[in-house]
Structure 1
């Protein structure tokens, strides 16, 4: 077994630079931290450049890492590459996997999540994970949304980032129009919407449009949707947070499309 690389090794230092969005964007590379993320990355041909692992993790995850290009690192080096409080010992260096909008929103798309200006990494990751669980076909991160490859976003998807296609689109309106052009009904999740979620027709191809955590959807963007849909609040809560609202909406569509 080769001697593990240390934190001051040049390869480890170069990989550590991917904690910055500008470097990730320039190099089209990112780090996937933890066994679930690494497993998902390894399931996509050509995604993984190499896997950094401690000797203990290599032994523990022998089946997962079989056939992968593994670089041994010591505990301190691994911790410098991980965003987790308790690193699991494996981090994959990966190529970006987002696809063009036209390849993600297609004529066969039946359930789509569009995130417009979603800034919180955890929220974005939870929406991606929920979309995956609900059987959605794809996700679009639009406008000033958080980087999909932010370490916290990747970790919060728990591997789902690698399970369904996603696109990054600078203009949310372009994403909405692309969905409509492909025959999807665009529903804006809006607390003041004119349609009640549980009275809405959700059986057809649908794109859900979710807005920013703090201020929701801009009026001009919500106006582009075919309908604005409100989740009824039966108790005294003022509203639902973004990831919870997305889960309710996506599962309502999933249920309607499967009955």
Structure 2
């Protein structure tokens, strides 16, 4: 796709400044849009209709021409930018030179649970963007029906979360509900068993009954689930066979979700 740099400099600059502000949650809420960066995320945003604008450097346009072609078909506005502008827009040390502005894609917990889900991830008080994005990506890969971030968590629409999700933010329903008790209540109302990943759980993950609709509670990276462990129907442990002291959040969640997906696919 040929890039047109004839747009007046002042208009181009204003557009870039506005886009850069979207790295802040307050500005995202105010504008009703969020910014993402990178091939996988932008490709998914364009193909699912979430993207409204794409910003791209000349070098990136050559690398990701297929995305720009799709953007043209989807009616997405494409804005050429300089390498300097790309560094200004990016929140990474090395930028890809490809960005998109997107409409909000978050669901409500109620909407996710209204569809008779069989597998739902519930990260509680998750604070690390990389872990949040990885949980979304893993949930998507394991065929989960949704991800519900519960409590005061990192914003799922943050650029770092979207990048870590590798496009899955646009493929699997994601919600963010600050009232944890309300989320637990909605899970029970939906008829899901609630399991919690816990180092001292009473049941090994290999022995847990995962053949029924299941919601997994995954705790905060530093403090776990705390008193919320008592809200679970079953507390499930992952046996540590080697000398590692523990598993990090994303790894533990991946194992639990895989075992659930395997059981559910064995009992359709």
TM-score (norm 2): 0.91
1:4–1:72 contact (8 Å) kept in structure 2: no
Partner of 1:111: 119
Query: Aligned partners of 1:223 and 1:26: how far apart in 2?
Result: 38
> Are 2:68 and 1:60 equivalent residues in the alignment?
no
Identify if the C-alpha distance between structure 1 residues 78 and 200 changes in structure 2 by more than 3 Å, giving closer, same or farther: same
Q: Which runs of 5+ in 1 are unaligned?
A: none
> Are 2:93 and 1:85 equivalent residues in the alignment?
yes
Query: Aligned partners of 2:100 and 2:119: how far apart in 1?
Result: 30
Query: Aligned partners of 1:106 and 1:234: how far apart in 2?
Result: 39
Q: Deviations over 1:114-147 (max 9, x none)?
A: 0100100111111111111111111011101111
Which aligned segments of 4 or more residues in structure 1 are displaced greater than 3 angstroms? 4-8
Partner of 2:13: 9
CA RMSD of aligned residues (A): 1.7
Q: Deviations over 1:30-85 (max 9, x none)?
A: 1110111111111223x212100112222332221121310111111112112232
Q: Which stretch has the larger CA shift, 56-65 or 97-106? A: 56-65
Q: Which runs of 5+ in 2 are unaligned?
A: none
Identify if the C-alpha distance between structure 1 residues 239 and 4 changes in structure 2 by more than 3 Å, giving closer, same or farther: farther
Q: Deviations over 1:138-186 (max 9, x none)?
A: 1011101111122211111111111100111011222122122111111
Partner of 2:158: 150
Partner of 2:201: 193
Query: Aligned partners of 1:209 and 1:152: how far apart in 2?
Result: 22
Query: Aligned partners of 2:120 and 2:96: how far apart in 1?
Result: 32
Query: Aligned partners of 2:178 and 2:239: how far apart in 1?
Result: 31
Alignment of 1:1-259 (within 5 A): 1-3=3-5, 9-45=13-49, 47-66=50-69, 67=72, 68-219=76-227, 221-259=228-266
Query: Aligned partners of 1:4 and 1:109: how far apart in 2?
Result: 50
Query: 1:235 is paired with a residue of what secondary structure?
Result: coil
Query: 1:65 is paired with a residue of what secondary structure?
Result: helix
Query: 1:198 is paired with a residue of what secondary structure?
Result: coil
